[in-house]
Amino acid sequence: MNQQRRSQGPLLRFTKMHGLGNDFMVVDAISQPFRLRPDMIRDLANRNFGIGFDQLLVVEPPGLPDVDFRYRIFNADGTEVEQCGNGARCFARFVRDQRLTNKKVIRVQTAKGVIELRVGRDGMVMVNMGVPELNPPAIPFAADRRKDVYTVDVDGQTVELSAVSMGNPHGVLVVDDVDTAPVGTLGPKLERHPRFPARANIGFLQILDRSHARLRVFERGAGETLACGSGACAAVVAGCLRGLLDHRVEVELRGGKLVIEWQGEGTPVMMEGPATSVFEGQLRLPGDSGSRRRKGSGRPHKQRS
Ligand SMILES: N[C@@H](CCC[C@H](N)C(=O)O)C(=O)O
């Protein structure tokens, strides 16, 4: 009896969403208390034993005067990170669906600055992802000497990549064909390469023509995902700097397409794409820190995209 009482914690409401198949558990931490340890996030992210997601997105009250919300992001491995582009579009959709705001332009505070989200009539969301950093401190070798391509040694093999921060660190490799690119083998090695002390998201970019590209991303803390919004922004910045892409590019990811625009150094990257709500659910959190027991329920609702 005692045991049972201890395992009954509060109910947590959440929404399952995705941006081109990059999937999220989204939690409103304004109208309900929210605190999850990294091990609990890992359990929830598990696709067999939990809810399953690439990232957990948390909506909090703003900590700055001129913004509407604070946006916190946790990877499936439980680590908190600075940026998530597909998540930003879902964030905009979520705060409007949950009637936390009726604004069309929503200013959101992330761990690396303020981003602006704009919800279109067609359900598409446009995000001002901010100005990319081309010599990011999270990628120390890029700060050493600023250039467009760096070389990194992986098991004796020299790999060429661009280093771009969209608030979060990205390495971008140009490949001939994303379908045969070594995403699953080189991706994890580069993600944890000693030259990326904060680890990095690794993008494999295939140029189709100056305004069309294909991309696969091995994400830091999540593995390969069906799409990575900040990765698409970083890839277009890298492609522009290398003189391979124009300023407006349609990027085809495994889960669908994003349109990315970048006018050049010192200007922000704009990203446009869909955000989809899949279902709402609630789960019973463990009542004490020692317990990992959890009960959940899901209520599917109509796909709205
Ligand atoms: N899927 C995201 C990026 C999420 C964070 C990333 N894995 C990191 O660790 O920086 C996106 O759409 O941008």
Is the pLDDT at 141 greater than 80, yes or no?
no
Model confidence over 218-228: pLDDT tens digits? 999 999 999 99
The whole-number pLDDT of residue 186 equals: 98
**Residue 116 CA to ligand 1 centre (angstroms):** 17
Contacts of 20 (CB under 8 A, 6+ apart): 86, 226, 227, 253, 255, 256, 257, 258, 273, 274
What's the CA gap between 170 and 220, in Å, rounded? 9
Residue range 243-247: mean pLDDT, rounded: 97
Query: With 70 as the cut, is the pLDDT of residue 36 above it?
Result: yes
Angle CA 135–140–146, to nearest 5: 35
% pLDDT > 70, the chain: 88
Q: Is 225 in the pocket of ligand 1 (CB under 6 A)?
A: yes
Closest residue CA from atom 9 of ligand 1:
220
Between these two residues, 147 and 276, which has the higher pLDDT value? Answer: 276
Model pLDDT, residue 296: 45
Cβ-contact 92, 17 below 8 angstroms: no
Cβ–Cβ < 8 Å for 281, 299: yes
DSSP assignments along 61-82, one per residue: --SSTT-SEEEEEEETTS-EES
User: Which among 213, 216, 196, 214 has a CA at the least distance from the CA of 204?
Assistant: 216
Which pLDDT belongs to residue 305? Answer: 33
**Catalytic residue at 228?**
yes
Torsion of CA 17, 198, 190, 24, to 10 degrees: -10
pLDDT in tens, 57-99: 999 999 899 999 999 999 999 999 999 999 999 999 999 999 9
| Gyration radius of the chain's alpha carbons | 19
**Listed residue (45, 26, 164, 144) closest to 92, CA to CA:** 26
The length of the chain in residues reads: 305
Structure ipTM over 0.95, yes or no: yes
Higher pLDDT, 56 or 1: 56
Minimum mean pLDDT among 30-44, 88-102, 200-214, 289-303: which range? 289-303
Best mutation site among 90, 165, 228, 237 for ligand 1 pocket (most ligand atoms within 8 Å of CB): 228
Q: Which residues pair with 173 in a beta bridge?
A: 204
| Cβ-based neighbours of 245, under 8 Å, separated by 6 or more | 207, 210, 211, 213, 236, 239
Segment 160-212, tens digit of pLDDT: 999 999 999 999 999 999 999 999 999 999 999 988 889 999 999 999 999 99
pLDDT at residue number 146: 58
Higher pLDDT pick, 55 / 10 = 55
- pLDDT value, residue 286: 79
Give me the percent of the chain exceeding a pLDDT of 90.
Answer: 79
- Over range 92-116, report the average pLDDT: 96
The domains located in the chain, with CATH, are 2-129+275-304 (3.10.310.10), 140-267 (3.10.310.10)
Q: What are phi and psi of 136, to 5 degrees?
A: -70, 135
- Is 252 annotated as ligand-binding? no
What is the pLDDT, as a whole number, of residue 298?
43
Q: Which two tokens stand for residue 238?
A: 């890298």
Say which of 90, 228, 233, 240 is annotated catalytic.
228
pLDDT confidence band for 295 (50 / 70 / 90): very low
- Of the candidates 84, 90, 233, 240, the residue annotated as catalytic is 84
pLDDT tops 70 at residue 52? yes
Ligand 1, closest atom to CA 169?
Answer: 10
> Is the CB of residue 93 less than 8 Å from the CB of residue 17?
yes
